[in-house]
């Protein structure tokens, strides 16, 4: 049906808003079924960069599944970086990093942290509080690999400070260790 609508769009005038809605729904459908290749082809077929940007942003704002969010955040960063405001750019890159970290977690556990996908530092803190040290190690490694040259509202130093804070708390004993005397 989407392809038929796309053909009609070439034959008859369609308002910009209806065109954006059509492509947005088509894109989300393709991403929901996991067909990233067709989703990319759809975005590449759109000749007007303004419409393509609007479609990508609206699709991302509808909070699709993890893989779709990751794809859209990556696409927006790669193709429209200069067209985005600094705040929006940081928001999208944080979502990209958060989805990257979520993808490193075991699949069944992702649902517990998906609400933090746009706040990777908070997700890292939640993992630390839940004593998921192995997951934190992989998440930190992933963040370190992808943070170089990125502006997303936090730095590698912020991650190191968070880890130091929780390492200090882990070594803080609320009672004194005294030997028992018999």
Locate all alpha helices (DSSP H) within 46-119, ordered by sequence: 49-61, 66-80, 86-104
Q: What is the pLDDT of residue 55?
A: 92
What does the alpha-carbon distance between residue 113 and residue 136 come to, in Å, rounded to a whole number? 13
| Residue 22 and residue 80 in one domain | yes
| Residue 59 and residue 112 in one domain | no
| Residue 121 and residue 43 in one domain | no
Provide the 8-state DSSP code for 62.
T
What does the alpha-carbon distance between residue 58 and residue 88 come to, in Å, rounded to a whole number? 13
pLDDT tens digits along 62-106:
888 888 998 999 999 889 988 888 888 888 888 888 888 898 899
Contact 152, 90 (CB under 8 A): yes
Among residues 84, 114, 130, which one ends one of the domains? Answer: 84
What does the alpha-carbon distance between residue 176 and residue 179 come to, in Å, rounded to a whole number? 10
User: Quick one: which of 78, 74, 81 has its CA closest to 96?
Assistant: 74
pLDDT higher for 31 or 63?
31
Q: Give this prediction's pTM.
A: 0.75
| Residue 53 and residue 132 in one domain | no
Query: Based on the structure, what is the number of domains in the chain?
Result: 2
pLDDT tens digits along 134-155:
888 888 888 888 776 666 677 7
Q: Which of 2-11, 19-28, 138-147 bottoms out in mean pLDDT, i.e. has the lowest? A: 2-11
């Amino acid at each position: 049906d989407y392809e038929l609508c796309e053909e009609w769009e070439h034959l008859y005038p369609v308002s910009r808003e209806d065109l954006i809605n059509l492509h947005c729904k088509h894109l989300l459908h393709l991403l929901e079924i996991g067909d990233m290749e067709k989703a990319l082809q759809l975005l590449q077929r759109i000749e007007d960069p303004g419409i393509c940007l609007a479609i990508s942003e609206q699709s991302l704002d509808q909070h699709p599944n993890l893989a779709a969010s990751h794809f859209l955040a990556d696409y927006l960063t790669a193709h429209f970086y200069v067209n985005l405001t600094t705040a929006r750019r940081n928001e999208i890159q944080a979502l990209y990093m958060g989805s990257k970290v979520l993808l490193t977690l075991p699949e069944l556990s992702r649902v517990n942290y998906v609400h933090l996908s746009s706040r990777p530092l908070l997700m890292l803190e939640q993992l630390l509080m839940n004593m998921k040290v192995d997951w934190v190690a992989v998440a930190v490694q992933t963040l370190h690999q992808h943070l170089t040259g990125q502006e997303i509202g936090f730095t590698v130093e912020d991650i190191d400070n968070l880890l130091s804070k929780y390492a200090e708390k882990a070594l803080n004993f609320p009672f004194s260790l005294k030997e028992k005397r018999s």
